[in-house]
Amino acid sequence: MPRKRVDIFSGVPGSGKTYHVKEVSVDTTVVCSADHFFLNESGKYIYDQNLLSWVHQQCRKKFLDALKQGKNHVVVDNTNLEAVHVTRYINWAQEFGYAIRIFSVTCNMDDALKRQKHGVPVQQHRLMRRKFTQIQSYFLDGHAKGLWQYIVVEN
């Protein structure tokens, strides 16, 4: 039986994370995405800064519940631009014996800014780009130590 797996995606808004999440997912995959909690009844994305903390709390709860239930494949589809954002997911995955893959989704940042559906202002997007560049060393270090598989996806 294949080992249970957690896939954690990292990238700026508009980089193509969700597209690639769909490529690695199967019908039984549990996808944990903050974006899902900003969808209204008709499926329209409506971002509310005031809900951000609650949304990420719900995302972490969904992730942990999936691990506790022993789901075979659990995916985190968020920007994950700082170690503090991914450490909890990594620790839980290790605690429950899951193999971990981390996907850094890269692309031309101007294209990402145009494609993003979140309305992130240019200055904020630039800050997110810098954070994305900085977290790569964290991901590479964990890969070198054998803690997870690190995969770079270029769009």
**99-129 pLDDT per residue, tens:** 999 999 998 888 988 888 878 888 999 999 8
pLDDT, tens only, 49-62: 899 899 999 999 99
Domain boundaries, the chain: 5-154
Residue 115 dihedral angles phi and psi, to the nearest 5°: -80, -25
User: Are 139 and 8 a contacting pair, CB within 8 Å?
Assistant: no
Q: Is the Cβ–Cβ distance between 58 and 37 less than 8 Å?
A: yes
Which fold, 5-154?
A: Rossmann fold (3.40.50)
Q: What is the pLDDT of residue 34?
A: 92
Q: Is 3 left (phi over 0), alpha (psi -120 to 50) or beta?
A: beta
What's the CA dihedral at 77, 30, 5, 128 to 10 degrees?
10
pTM for this predicted structure = 0.92
> CA torsion angle for 14, 19, 20, 24 (degrees, to 10)?
160
